[in-house]
């Protein structure tokens, strides 16, 4: 299975969680990794990567309850009319997609009475929009909360690394399960 991981973190050097997740995925899989922050404007190359992938993993930290601006810029440039949507678009239709999200806040903060004012599902509609408009098949969303490694903000580096390792295992398991289902569907 050709898996493409799109990293939406703007600066992995300043990351503990996303850097650890991507490091483990690179060590344990043969998946292709690309970084939205490295996007240099070659739209056709990015679109071709998406077309060649059997499954796309979109990895990002929640920044104000959505993806970072580099991920938004990548989507704005790559999900073009005639490719991702429009009369001759939908070239990504039925392409499998997994959202992999890290959050520094607690799960409880995503509620009407919490710091983030709404449940995560409300925010999720916004960051899923472009992918659903492209008619991609969201197979799962993995979210791990409390991945804050910044001690000044009450974070814990060791806990964050441990959670990141567990998160990476979840991603691998979901992709493996999807690959097994694809094989059994083609056989049956």
Tokens of 42: 């070659």
Can you tell me the distance from the alpha carbon of 181 to that of 8, in angstroms, rounded to the nearest whole number?
27
List domains and CATH numbers for the chain. Answer: 3-185 (3.40.50.360)
Can you tell me the distance from the alpha carbon of 171 to that of 142, in angstroms, rounded to the nearest whole number?
7
For 36-47, how does the pLDDT look when each residue is reduced to its tens digit (9 = 90+)? 999 999 999 999
Which pLDDT does position 182 carry in this prediction? 66
Dihedral angle computed from the Cα positions of residues 58, 59, 65 and 66, in that order, rounded to the nearest 10 degrees: -40
The neighbour count for residue 145, using CB atoms within 10 Å, is 18
Which pLDDT does position 183 carry in this prediction? 55
For 127-143, how does the pLDDT look when each residue is reduced to its tens digit (9 = 90+)? 899 999 999 999 999 99
Which pLDDT does position 88 carry in this prediction? 79
Can you tell me the distance from the alpha carbon of 55 to that of 164, in angstroms, rounded to the nearest whole number?
21
Output the CA–CA distances (angstroms, integers) from residue 1 to 7, 111, 182, 186, in the order listed.
19, 37, 9, 13
Which pLDDT does position 144 carry in this prediction? 94
Coil, helix or strand at residue 53: coil
For residue 71, count CB atoms less than 10 angstroms from its CB and return exposed for 0-12, middle for 13-18, buried for 19 or more: buried
Contact 5, 34 (CB under 8 A): yes
The secondary structure element, H or E, covering residue 25 is: helix 17-28
Tokens of 138: 């969201």
Q: Give pLDDT < 70 ranges for the chain.
A: 116, 151, 182-188
Count of positions (residues) in the chain: 188
Which pLDDT does position 137 carry in this prediction? 96
Which pLDDT does position 39 carry in this prediction? 94
């Amino acid at each position: 299975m050709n898996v493409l991981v799109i990293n939406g973190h703007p600066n992995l050097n300043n990351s503990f969680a996303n850097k650890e997740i991507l490091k483990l995925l690179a060590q344990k899989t043969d998946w292709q990794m690309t970084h939205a922050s490295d996007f240099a404007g070659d739209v056709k190359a990015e679109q071709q990567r998406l077309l060649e992938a059997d499954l796309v993993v979109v990895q990002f930290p929640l920044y104000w309850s959505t993806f970072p601006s580099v991920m938004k810029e990548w989507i704005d440039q790559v999900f073009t009319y005639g490719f991702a949507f429009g009369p001759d678009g939908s070239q990504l239709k039925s392409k499998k997609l997994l959202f992999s999200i890290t959050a520094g806040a607690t799960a409880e903060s995503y509620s009407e009475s919490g710091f983030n004012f709404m449940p995560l599902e409300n925010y999720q509609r916004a960051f899923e929009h472009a992918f659903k408009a492209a008619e991609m098949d969201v197979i799962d969303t993995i979210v791990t909360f409390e991945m804050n490694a910044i001690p000044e903000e009450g974070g814990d580096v060791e806990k964050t690394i441990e959670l990141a390792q567990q998160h990476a295992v979840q991603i691998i398991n979901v992709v493996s399960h999807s690959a097994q289902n694809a094989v059994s569907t083609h056989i049956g």
